[in-house]
Amino acid sequence: MLNIFFPKLCWGCQNELLVNEVEICTFCRHQLPLTGFLEIDKNDIHKLFYGRVPLVDATALFYFKKNGLTQKFVHALKYKGATKIGNEFGKWLGEELCRKDTFKTVEAVVPVPLHKRKLRQRGYNQVEGFGKELASALQVPYFDDVLVKISATKSQVFKERVTRIFSQEQVFSTQNEQKIENKHLLVVDDIITSGATLESCAGKLLKTKGVRLSFASIAISK
Ligand SMILES: [Zn+2]
């Protein structure tokens, strides 16, 4: 009944959704700019991380452009509480991932974490639905208690005059390392831009013995 008065709208085009459509209408599904990365041996993510992070494989579902269609969905996922968008994209990519040999050897999915203050503000990590669907498609566990985001310490901040540089710096740390020892991990994020976030996470994860890494994101900026 509620739908008659408050019809659910597609986050991409604002048209009314049909009963079988979740957050994304069929028209927008066909308009979203797929990267096709799973078919490409040395895709843009491999190129971006070449010499920075050793990777088993890496992929992103869509291209992301300012004011483009992908941005509308990522924005809704991040700021409007439309968490199901992440699940939809995760199911979409998950179906493709489990057909590629390099991803079949993944043993756990690890999300890029939010700082706990940010998590409290937003109420959810926007990459959770996406990551959990990938884990379920690959039939591996989802570990959100291995990688944590921490703040730069006060002493670091006060040491430097340019405190802004420190407050923007991404600082990650690992815990429960025994869970990831000797494992091939798929690290998931929403958007890859400069690659700084994933590089920073990878640096920490690779300190644990025998860890190998792959990356998957919803989108990569173009
Ligand atoms: Zn639409």
pLDDT digits (tens, 9 = 90+) for 141-152: 999 999 999 975
In tens, the pLDDT along 78-108 reads: 999 999 999 999 999 999 999 999 999 999 9
Ligand 1: distance of its center to the CA of 189 in Å? Answer: 23
Ligand 1: distance of its center to the CA of 72 in Å? Answer: 10
> What is the C-alpha separation between 98 and 105, in angstroms, rounded?
9
Which tokens belong to 2?
A: 């509620």
Is the CB of residue 83 less than 8 Å from the CB of residue 126? yes
pLDDT at 163: 53
> What is the C-alpha separation between 222 and 63, in angstroms, rounded?
6
Q: Is the per-residue pLDDT at 3 higher than 70?
A: no
State percent of the chain over pLDDT 70.
89
Q: Which residue, among 83, 95, 96, has the nearest Cα to 130 in the 3D structure?
A: 83
Ligand 1: distance of its center to the CA of 4 in Å? Answer: 19
pLDDT at 98: 93
In tens, the pLDDT along 117-163 reads: 999 999 999 999 999 999 999 999 999 999 999 975 555 555 555 55
Q: Which residue, among 134, 127, 78, has the nearest Cα to 106 in the 3D structure?
A: 134
pLDDT band at 6 (very low <50, low <70, confident <90, very high): confident
Ligand 1: distance of its center to the CA of 214 in Å? Answer: 31
Helix or strand holding residue 123 (H, E): none
> What is the C-alpha separation between 111 and 194, in angstroms, rounded?
18
Estimate the crossing angle of helix 84-97 against helix 69-79, to 10 degrees: 120
